[in-house]
Amino acid sequence: MNENSSFLVLFLAPVKEYLADDQVSEILINGPSQIYIERNGKLEETPARFANEAQLKAAAVNIAKSVDRQLDEMHPDLDARLPDGSRVHATIPPISRCGTILSIRKFKKEMLTIDRLEQFGSIPHEGVLLLNAIVKLRKNTIVSGGTSSGKTSVLNALSGLIPENDRILVLEDASELQLQQKHCVYFETRKPDKNGQGEFSIRDLVIASLRLRPDRLVIGEIRGGEALDLLQAMNTGHSGSMSTIHANSPLDALSRMETCAILSGANLPLTAIRMQVASAINCVVHTMRLPDGSRKIVEIAEVLPLENGEYRLRSLMRWETRSVAPDGTVTGGFLLGECPTFRDDAELLHLELPEYR
């Protein structure tokens, strides 16, 4: 943690070494006597312990106070961002049965770029060319994947391909994105106060942001009714926008967007919502954490028009796992799929694409 949040280390002294370890991405505290960390993509149990439940709960309560939030029996759940950008989620009894639960997702100091993803083997050079063309051609893009699959990191890297002269509005529940462009305006949701007032949701932010002349919207994650507002924004001139969503495949990502749009409460027929999804979203970038802990972009897919009311996708590139060793080591490779429909547009802008057969 940096100087602004170093005082929080006092509350979290038993896990101080893991807070300082750049290879540790998450710290998972399941009560005072069971602490896990995620290091290099793999979970491992640690010998660290809090003295007792009172010490751990005091740490969680003090963290809540440091961000002007409450954590008590009336408010037993905390989702907050620390001054250094790390995300903390805390739950206390009676909601949790084994004492105070604390999850710390650490803030990455190093800026992750598409080139770095290529160096890590998360994507091949052909994938880099595809993603560069997708962003430069202002294709609306959803990054999908499971929990801890690297969605936010990939969204960060994708945003680095946005031209400098674009005005970018970044909307998040808890600020994690670190865009490299100068003209970025950041917004963060606000939770309701102790009286249940003053909440400002992602959906409120999306609606408000459309009055602020964005060239592109970058939304940290789609979880609910804000999906419909984003789809409408994408369909009315805000091309090149990006977000993430939890999903198990690119096709599942479209279905999840559809479900979230329904949660908006708008009285629209399913066919109308599907048409909005299919016309608004141009590409899906799917991420996955493999058994060996590595994270990869396992598929880049283009969204095609509906056919008989059903979603259609064109796989442009995908990862194929060929074997998994007993220790979890994965071997495989990236394969090019079908040629994108936007190849002619890419040629007009002199954007290089992979050599499709």
CATH classification of the domain holding 121: 3.40.50.300
Position of tokens 């999850």? 103
Compute the residue count for the chain: 357
Last residue in a domain, options 105, 138, 166: 105
Q: Looking at residue 45, which CATH number applies to its domain? A: 3.30.450.90
Residue 193's contacts (CB-CB under 8 Å, 6 or more residues apart) are: none
- Inside any domain, residue 354: no
Render each residue's pLDDT in the chain as its tens digit; 357 residues: 444 455 567 788 999 999 888 889 899 999 999 999 998 878 899 999 999 999 999 999 988 888 778 898 888 998 877 777 788 899 999 899 889 999 998 877 667 889 999 999 999 999 999 999 999 999 999 999 998 898 988 998 999 999 999 999 999 887 777 787 889 999 988 877 777 788 888 889 888 888 898 999 999 899 999 999 999 889 887 899 999 999 999 999 999 999 999 998 888 999 999 999 999 999 999 999 998 888 999 999 999 999 999 999 999 999 999 999 988 889 999 999 999 999 999 999 999 999 987
Q: Which domain holds residue 209?
A: 114-348
Angle between helices 250-262 and 270-280 (to 10 degrees): 130
Task: Give Cα 94 distance to the centre of its chain.
Answer: 30
Beta bridge partners of 30: 101
Q: Looking at the structure, do residues 74 and 131 belong to the same domain, yes or no? A: no
Q: Is 34 within 8 Å of 46 (Cβ atoms)?
A: no
Task: Give Cα 1 distance to the centre of its chain.
Answer: 21
pTM: 0.85
- Inside any domain, residue 246: yes
Residue-level pLDDT at 266: 85
Last residue in a domain, options 43, 72, 105: 105
Q: Is 5 within 8 Å of 106 (Cβ atoms)?
A: no
Last residue in a domain, options 76, 105, 134: 105
